[in-house]
Amino acid sequence: MSELEQGNGQRPPTPVSGVDDGGHRRLAPRPLERPPVDPTLSTAFGRPHGVDGAFAGRAQAPQQPVTLAPPTPEALSSAFGRPPGEGGTRLQRPPNLDASGEPEVEPVFWEGEPAGDAWRDPGASAVLGPPAVGEDPAKPADAPATPGPQLSVPELLFGRRVKPTALALLLVVVLAVGSAGGLVGWALGRVGNPLTDGSVTLAEVKTAKERPVGSVADVASRVTPGVVSIEFKGASIAGVGSGVVIDGAGYVLTNDHVVAPAVQDSSAKLTVVFTDGKRATARVVGRDSKTDLAVIKVEVTNPTVIQFGNSDDLQVGDTVLAIGSPLSLSNTVTEGIVSALNRPVTAAGENGGPAVTYDAIQTDAAINPGNSGGALVDSSGALVGINSSIRTETGGSVGLGFAISGNYARRVSQELIREGQVKHADMNVNVNSVSAETAEGARVQNVPADGAAAAAGIVENDVITKVGDRLVRNAAEFTVAVREHEIGETVPVVLARQGRELTLQVTLRSD
């Protein structure tokens, strides 16, 4: 039994050869340990059965009989064999080898001629010499070089000279071939599309279209030159509005909100553009922010001027034209009717300023942003309103446009041209709109002590229902009703106080 099989199967410590164990004894070398091999791995990676080394023995190929070549024919042997008397393995001597063993030297081909000729002696050194063609001794050295002969057209095209008759004949042939090809193509084109006819000429109406006086085309052709586009452009603002030329000196009536951005921005510039493309710089004459009207002036000669009409003669259903530059589209004309009269309109003021209130003409003629300040004319071409605003929930025209009354615009513009500002009649009282089951009007909120209303005996909570001949149904209508009168004029005011109706005489003052 070996040491591995004794005891618990563990191998006792084995001394290592050449190592002292402390008792001055040499330890024996440790036996080689061979762990057991897995049979599966042995089957997959072990040596084949019967192979002891790392390589398998080479199998001996069966011996095949060797077939010897037939003997060389005598004719070939005598022609290509070694000369008689030479050994078996010595190489054949060159035929020009002399008896001393040195090859014979072939004589040079220039035998008997000078060996210094570089064209014959391959061993001669290379020397740069003069050009192969010598200079003409009859020609001066500083004479300018004469250009060589130029090529003619036939030489350039064909590489050699061609007779003129041949060239003309070739040109005639080319023209004939091109003409024939064009005729064939034309014929094929006509045959390929039988629906076309090159001889057809459409009939033309010789007489012009008749436009009676008073038609939309007639009114537009007469009025459009008097309506201008107003452009304002600054460092941070830009826009387009419309205006109406109301005087031959170059005065243009427009909306205050068209020129207000240019006035508020010192870097902005106002430019008026006429229908013929002429441009002119404009200056502000005067503004009335309470009624949204302004007058500017340009330096022009002989402009087309629009004449004012009487807007009080308008009736609902009358035909009107709106002319201006909606959405920056200049010289735009739209047609509609008067939808309502004396419609009080209130809009927010510019940059938090006082509210804009005016008595408007309502129309269903298409009015869009850019129409502001443009003309509203009747069927005769007379100016009856200044287009100012629209009422919409979509941002575009829905047939609810408003224009400032022409009569009121004429009075304000004339005052602006004369004085540069406008004063309005005022009752010096603050009101708001109220309505009840039986009546509606403007209720007084407060009455300044030194105002026209206080002097006439109007007190807070009075409900004003009529100013002069005009009914008052809300605060906006109260404002326009008062402004219809002149400063210093005394007008009757009907109001309700504690269930009783009173009529007071109020002398209007300036705002």
Query: Quick one: pLDDT band at residue 34, thresholds 50, 70, 90?
Result: confident
The predicted structure's pLDDT at residue 132: 61
**Residue range 200-215: mean pLDDT, rounded:** 75
Amino acid at 343: R
Name which of 496, 491, 493, 484 is nearest 440 in CA terms.
496
Identical fold between 216-419 and 425-510: no
- Residue of 316, 328, 393, 326 lying closest to 361 (CA atoms): 316
Residue 254's pLDDT is what? 94
49 is catalytic: no
What is the average pLDDT score of the chain?
80
What pLDDT score does 14 carry?
47
Q: What integer is the mean pLDDT of 91-108?
A: 57
Residue 400: is it exposed, middle or buried by C-beta count within 10 angstroms (0-12/13-18/19+)?
middle
The residue ranking higher by pLDDT, 76 or 62, is 76
pLDDT of res. 5: 41
3-class SS string, 356-399: EEEEEEEECCCCCCCCCCCEEEECCCCEEEEEEEECCCCCCCCC
**Separation CA 192–CA 47 (nearest Å):** 88
| Catalytic-labelled residue, pool 288, 292, 364, 462 | 292
pLDDT of residue 95: 59
What are the residue boundaries of the structural domains of the chain, listed by start?
A: 216-419, 425-510
The CATH number assigned to the domain with range 216-419 reads 2.40.10.120
What is the pLDDT at residue 1?
A: 41
Residue 66 has pLDDT above 70, yes or no: no
Question: Active site residue: 256, 257, 289, 359, which one?
Answer: 257
Q: Which CATH class is domain 425-510?
A: mainly beta
Among residues 372, 389, 397, 413, the one annotated as catalytic is 372
DSSP secondary structure string, 212-270?
Answer: -TTSHHHHHHHHGGGEEEEEEE-SS-EEEEEEEE-STTSEEEE-HHHHHHHHH-TT-EE
Look at residue 7 in the predicted model and tell me its pLDDT.
Answer: 43
Contact of 317 with 337, CB cutoff 8 Å: yes
User: Is pLDDT at 215 greater than 90 in this prediction?
Assistant: no
The pLDDT, as a whole number, for residue 410 is: 93
Residue type, 137: P
424 vs 92: which has the higher pLDDT: 424
Between 483 and 122, whose confidence is greater?
A: 483
Q: What is the mean pLDDT of residues 287-305?
A: 91
pLDDT tens digit string along 372-430?
999 999 999 999 999 998 888 777 778 889 999 999 999 999 999 998 889 989 888 88
The pLDDT score that the predictor gives to residue 236 is: 82
Q: Which whole number is the average pLDDT over 140-156?
A: 66
- What pLDDT does residue 305 have? 92
- Please indicate whether residue 257 is annotated as part of the active site: yes
- Quick check: helix, strand or coil at residue 453? helix
Which pLDDT value is given to residue 166? Answer: 75
Q: Are 428 and 452 in contact (CB under 8 A)?
A: yes
DSSP H or E run through 324: strand 319-324
CA-nearest of 396, 336, 395, 333 to 362 is 336
